[in-house]
Each structure stands twice: as C-alpha cells, then as structure tokens.
Amino acid sequence: MIETLFFDALRSAIGPTAASYALLAVGLNLHFGYTGLLNFGQVGYMLVGAYGLSITVAVFGGPLWLGLIVGMLAAVVLSIILGAPTLRLRADYLAITTIAASEILRFLVRNTGSDDLTGSVFGLRQFAGEFYDWSPFAPGEYLGPLGFNANRMWVTLVGWGLVAALSAMVWTLMRSPWGRVLRSIREDEDAARSLGKNVFLYKMQSLIIGGVIGAIGGMVFVLALQNVTPDMFLPQVTFFAFAIMILGGTSTVLGPTAGAVLFWFLLTGLQSGIRGVVDAGVIPGITGGQVVGAVSLIAVGLLLMLLMVFRPQGILGDREELRLDVS
C-alpha cells in the first residue's frame, strides 16, 4: 500500500499536470513575486490558451502552430483588457478583476450559445493529433513502475522542457535592467516613477508575459488530456498555482518547479492515502471519492494559510529578504 501510494505520488509529481502547473506558477511568479501584481485569475490565461489552441485546430481545422499562436495572442489581448483599467489602481482591484474575468470566460465557453465554437459543457477534443505525431517515442511502457505510455512520455518531456526554457527566460530577464525595474515596482512603485520609469508600461509587460506563460501552461494541460472542457478551469486552479509558488519560494527562479513537484507529490500522496483508507473500510460506513476531493482541497487551503503565516519564503526563499520591511 505504501508502495502504491509512493508511485502514485511520484507519477503525478513528474507528470504533465505538474509541468502545466509549474508553468502557471512561473507566470504567476513574474506577476506576484517580481512585480507585486496580484493576479487571482491565472486560470483565465490557462483557459484562453487551451481554447485558443483547441478551437483553432478542432473547429477551424487549422494547423497546430497556428493554434499555439492564437492561444498566446489571446493571452496578450486578455492582459490588455484586464490591465488597462486596473494597473493604475491598488493591488486588490487587479485581484478582484482577474478572478471575475476568469469566471466570465468560463461562463462564456460553457454557455450553450457558444456550442458551435467551444462545445459548451462538453468541450472539444481531437486537436492533439498533430502534436503526438511529432512524438519520437515508440509505443510501449516507460519509466518502470510509473508506467508512462509513449504519448505521456512525449507530453511530459515537452512540458518540463518548456518549464526549463521559460524559467531560463525569466532568469535572464530578472538579471537585466528590465528585471531591476520590475523589482523596484514591487518594492515601491512611486519610487520607480520618481526615477523616470513608466510603471504602467512595465506592469503591463509583466502581466502579458506572465499571462502568456500561463496560457502555454493551459495548452500543455489540454494536450496531455487530449480534450478540453470548461470545468477544468475553476478558480481553484489559480490558487493551486499560488500554493505551488509560495511553497517553492516566491521570487525565486526555481521555486515554481520545486513547488509544483512537491505540491503534486503531497497532494496525490494524500489523495491516494485517503482513498486507501476509505477503500480498506478501516472506518465503517465511509466510502466515496467526495471525501477524497473535499479533504484534499481542505488540505490545500490549510497549506496556503499556514505557509503564508509561518513560512512565507517557501522552501527555496530567503527568510532575511522577507524580513525587510518597506514603508
């Protein structure tokens, strides 16, 4: 049983879902960790990426590359729509607007009126064929006890490859003068302004880049599942990404990756453990996956609260850095 639990957890921790969430968290880290933007609607970026790709390919029969571009452009447009009214206001207005926008988008794609375009609640499929055609993996079982098939190997490789590439990009950016301006905005945007920095422009650039990275995360997520439905994009996804970012270490380059692996290892391990306990009938009268779902979400909530209060620097962050107090 312990062995099953361990392999369940490991399979999830290195799988494509963890990679997608790592991408969401890389984008969120650019927003929150480096610029101080409170984006509570990262799942909205994930949604526009996923639907941009799948609508282009599945509905209009476009090639995969076009779908990828459409998905990323959608994230740019979303950033401009959300950022224009809110980036001049206090941080909490952006938080409220982004979470509202992510729900608007979900309502819109699941609405029966959008059936022809988004497949409403049933979603879309058959957009991932070309992606898997490029797979170099021969059919078969890989990674021993983890039992990845060829397709899963391919999407896992691509997913973590993107995490590595985009983390490297963020690392380069944050060591540049551009990154220095971003961090100064996080610390005190009036100070940045008084030194001649166009704060609004930099915030917008940060929102766009982090959003596009989130959209890429959404594309990896649906390519791995080979289908997309609106209810994959519940607001809680954003807060999973927040938990991942804080767990790994806010404003660190490797934080999102370490956080995603650890988060999915713990969450899947917990779910597998509860399921084992429930199935074993240790506690009489208890069955049901609902318990697994509810308990794991309670655990995520507690993780967020306790981390924020007791270890805001996560596993990789610098305690001393957080100790400093501005204003």
Min CB(91)–another protein separation in Å: 5
Q: Is 112 in the site for another protein (CB under 8 A)?
A: yes
Min CB(11)–another protein separation in Å: 19
Closest CA to 103 of 241, 244, 243, 238: 238
Q: Is 144 in the site for another protein (CB under 8 A)?
A: no
Q: Is 4 in the site for another protein (CB under 8 A)?
A: no
Q: Is 17 in the site for another protein (CB under 8 A)?
A: no
Q: Is 2 in the site for another protein (CB under 8 A)?
A: no
Helices and strands: H and E segment counts in the chain:
15, 4
Q: Is 192 in the site for another protein (CB under 8 A)?
A: yes
Q: Is 63 in the site for another protein (CB under 8 A)?
A: no
Q: Is 126 in the site for another protein (CB under 8 A)?
A: no
Q: Residue from 7, 59, 62, 103 that binds another protein (CB under 8 A)?
A: 103
Min CB(230)–another protein separation in Å: 9
* # residues near another protein by CB under 8 A: 102
Min CB(122)–another protein separation in Å: 5
Q: In whole angstroms, what is the distance from residue 304 CA to residue 248 CA?
A: 12
Cβ closer to another protein: 50 or 153? 50
Task: Say which residues have a Cβ less than 8 Å from residue 142's Cβ, sequence separation at least 6.
Answer: 148, 149, 150, 152, 153
Q: Residue from 139, 144, 194, 280 that binds another protein (CB under 8 A)?
A: 194
* Residues 206 to 225 in contact with another protein, rule: CB under 8 A: 209
Token duo for residue 150: 């060829």
Candidates 8-16, 22-30, 53-61, 83-91; binding stretch for another protein (CB under 8 A): 83-91
Question: E strands of 98-205, at which residues?
Answer: 124-125, 141-142, 148-149
Number of alpha carbons in the 13 Å side-chain half-sphere of residue 218: 37
State the angle between helix axes of 2-13 and 16-28 in degrees (0 to 180), rounded to the nearest 10.
Answer: 50
Q: Is 116 in the site for another protein (CB under 8 A)?
A: no
Token duo for residue 59: 């509905």
Q: Residue from 235, 262, 276, 315 that binds another protein (CB under 8 A)?
A: 235
Min CB(166)–another protein separation in Å: 12
Q: Is 107 in the site for another protein (CB under 8 A)?
A: yes
Q: Is 312 in the site for another protein (CB under 8 A)?
A: yes
Q: Residue from 164, 231, 254, 281 that binds another protein (CB under 8 A)?
A: 231
Question: Positive or negative CA dihedral for 171, 175, 180, 181?
Answer: negative
Task: Say which residues have a Cβ less than 8 Å from residue 50's Cβ, sequence separation at least 6.
Answer: 71, 215, 218, 219, 221, 222, 228, 232, 233
Query: CA dist 140 to 161, 204, 226, 310, Å?
Result: 22, 45, 19, 45
Closest CA to 107 of 89, 88, 126, 121: 121
Q: Residue from 77, 104, 164, 165 that binds another protein (CB under 8 A)?
A: 104
Min CB(294)–another protein separation in Å: 4
Beta bridge partners of 142: 148
Q: Residue from 80, 89, 165, 254 that binds another protein (CB under 8 A)?
A: 89
* Residues 238 to 297 in contact with another protein, rule: CB under 8 A: 239, 242, 246, 250, 283, 285-295, 297
Q: How many CB atoms lie within 10 A of CB 8?
A: 19
Q: Is 85 in the site for another protein (CB under 8 A)?
A: yes
Min CB(251)–another protein separation in Å: 8
Token duo for residue 145: 């006890």
Question: Positive or negative CA dihedral for 161, 167, 169, 171?
Answer: negative
